[in-house]
Structure 1
Amino acid sequence: MRKRVAFLINPSKRVRLNAYVQWVKSCVSCELFIFDEQWPASIDEFDEVWVMGGDGTFNYFVNAYPACDKPIALFKGGTGNDFYWKLFGNMSREMHLKVVLDAHVEAIDAGRVNEMLFLNGVGIGIEGEVLAAMDAIRWIGGAIGYYLAAIPALFRFKSYTILKTRPVFLCMVFNSSRAGGGFHFFPMASVQDGLLDMLVCDPLPIWKRLFYMPIIQSGKHINLPFVHFSKISSMQIVCDRVLKAQVDGEVLESDTFDFTILPAKFKFIVPVKL
């Protein structure tokens, strides 16, 4: 019996991704059911689920199907593709499809913030402001688009206080390593260690914000004295004002963020040596 696969495409990008979808379809022998307009109410009847899009699409998927126990394959089709990169790196489409068809499955952690699941990470404050600004330049995408949105935010964003007494410029809680199409905020992060990674940056003058931005992008900020890393399994972060947070490319607005790790939550198809 042929394997039954649900292939879920981001509907807003189905025209742009159509050639890629048709190429995949021409290369496989499984029974492929393509959903590029409306996703199914249930995926129980399928053996695997393939999802094409970016971090926001993958975030939508895990929140739409939080109990999914099927092997999941991700296909790159977004602007940042940061979680995809964590699993597959920069491999070619041909090599990626071979990995998907080989179907090596491993359990991967997820996180929860308030009522939202996330795969990649959450940035509270300036990350949320940058994401909101990127809506106007999302067509550029990647690190260049992130820079264009981030630089004005670096000038105007005001530090805030968490945990009642700690002033910060930046607070991030991640499951994976990078965001913004290539900013390596957590170069040491693992998606299989059963923990979330937390970064807190002390308040900085504007010139330091600008100076250290490319250093943070490259992941060379681990030993900076004003950047602090820790591992957590759960934490409540209460801020002194309502802030925007980016959650895998989606915006969450609150003054309280409850984080919990969900160890080995989903089964992903990955390279043998992840």
Structure 2
Amino acid sequence: MIRLRALLLINRKSRQGEANAQTAVEQLRDRGVDVLEGRFDAPEDVPAEIRRHADAVDVIVLGGGDGTLNLASKAMMACGKPMAVLPLGTANDFARTLLIPTDLAAACDNVVDGIDHGIDLGLCNDVHFLNVASIGLAVRASEYRSDAAKKWFGSLGYAANVFSAVRDTRAFDAEISFDGHTERLHSIQVAVGNGRYFGGGLAVSSDAALDDGQLDLYSLKPQPLSSLIAMLPGLVRGPHKAMQGLQLFEGTAFHIRTEEPMDINTDGEILTATPATFRVLPQALTVKVPQRYIDRYGSGKSSSAA
């Protein structure tokens, strides 16, 4: 029997990184996987490790959060090898979308037994994103992130940061062009989603999916904090077009202009700004997904919340 060869990339210098890496190596070898451990000093070195070793392995196993996966996405797209995810971050929105288990042993099972599945990648100007790119509230909320908030609030930490940021976020005007027409928005947040979840469990749309060849855009209208709190359950389930206080659009590309350049948060990092063009790159990556994802969604846009 031919043994599966895997490149394992986990930052041993991160919190609990050493223990997670050791456990992952043991779990994978127990499942008959030949493990090649990549060595790197910082997450920014992950793409170089992928390029260095991709030709020698069958699958690349990335342990970390959405930021690590984002950093790896361009190199993964170039090497053409399937990616398997060990969700070791705080939010793990990408893994949540694809129903990849957060339990490390179960995630290692998915490395071996998972099904190769093509997914889309988003592109904002020249920056790739897996989940969501945002303008407005999400940018300000990212400035309030802290290790303490992650520890005590977990996936709710992002929502708490958003509400803290409301008082400091000014409404802005934006012009979006897509599918041959233009919309003018007055907004406190514009989010463009490739995937379903962002911010630790908020959903960009009630039917967003990583494999539908579409981007989902929503604009949140200025409103009192009490109204935003009332909207939170709907933002967790995923907005729909009938939802008050919000505008929702779909397309394969969007162009967004604002009166002044505004920062854009892509998968938690501020790497570009408006004016911006957003595009979807269909089937750009291959990811190991569990059979239950295929059973539930098959391929294409999902019809209910995960």
Task: Verify same fold: TM over 0.5.
Answer: yes
Residue identity (%): 24
Point out where structure 1 has 5 or more consecutive residues left out of the alignment.
none
Q: Deviations over 1:209-239 (max 9, x none)?
A: 3332344234366531321222111111112
Task: Give the alignment's Cα RMSD to 1 decimal.
Answer: 2.3
SS at match of 2:173: strand
The answer to whether the 8 A contact 1:194-1:262 is kept is yes
Q: Point out the more displaced range, 153-162 or 243-252.
A: 243-252
How many residues of Structure 1 are paired with residues of Structure 2 in the alignment? 274
User: Which residue of structure 2 aligns with residue 183 of structure 1?
Assistant: 202
Q: Among 24, 27, 31, which residue is 1:28 paired with?
A: 31
Which aligned pairs between 1:1-274 and structure 2 lie closer than 5 A? 1-13=2-14, 14-15=17-18, 17-38=20-41, 39=46, 40=49, 41-42=51-52, 43-88=54-99, 90=101, 92-135=103-146, 137=148, 139-140=150-151, 142-163=154-175, 165-219=184-238, 223-274=242-293
CA distance in 2, matches of 1:17, 1:102: 20
Letter in 2 for 1:24: Q
SS at match of 1:84: helix
CA distance in 2, matches of 1:144, 1:266: 29
Point out where structure 2 has 5 or more consecutive residues left out of the alignment.
177-183, 294-306
The answer to whether the 8 A contact 2:185-2:219 is kept is no
More helix, by proportion = 2
Q: Deviations over 1:116-136 (max 9, x none)?
A: 111111111111111121146
CA distance in 1, matches of 2:24, 2:262: 38
Using a 3 Å threshold, how does the CA distance of structure 1 residues 215 and 26 change in structure 2: closer, same or farther? same
Using a 3 Å threshold, how does the CA distance of structure 1 residues 148 and 203 change in structure 2: closer, same or farther? closer
Q: Deviations over 1:10-59 (max 9, x none)?
A: 35522363354244244332210112435424322221111110110100
Q: Following TM superposition, by how much is the alpha carbon of 1:92 offset from its aligned partner in structure 2, in angstroms?
A: 4.2
Letter in 1 for 2:277: D
Q: Following TM superposition, by how much is the alpha carbon of 1:254 offset from its aligned partner in structure 2, in angstroms?
A: 1.4
Q: TM-score, normalised by structure 1?
A: 0.89
Q: Following TM superposition, by how much is the alpha carbon of 1:86 offset from its aligned partner in structure 2, in angstroms?
A: 0.9
The answer to whether the 8 A contact 1:121-1:173 is kept is yes
The answer to whether the 8 A contact 1:124-1:171 is kept is yes
Using a 3 Å threshold, how does the CA distance of structure 1 residues 232 and 115 change in structure 2: closer, same or farther? same
Q: Point out the more displaced range, 147-156 or 113-122.
A: 147-156
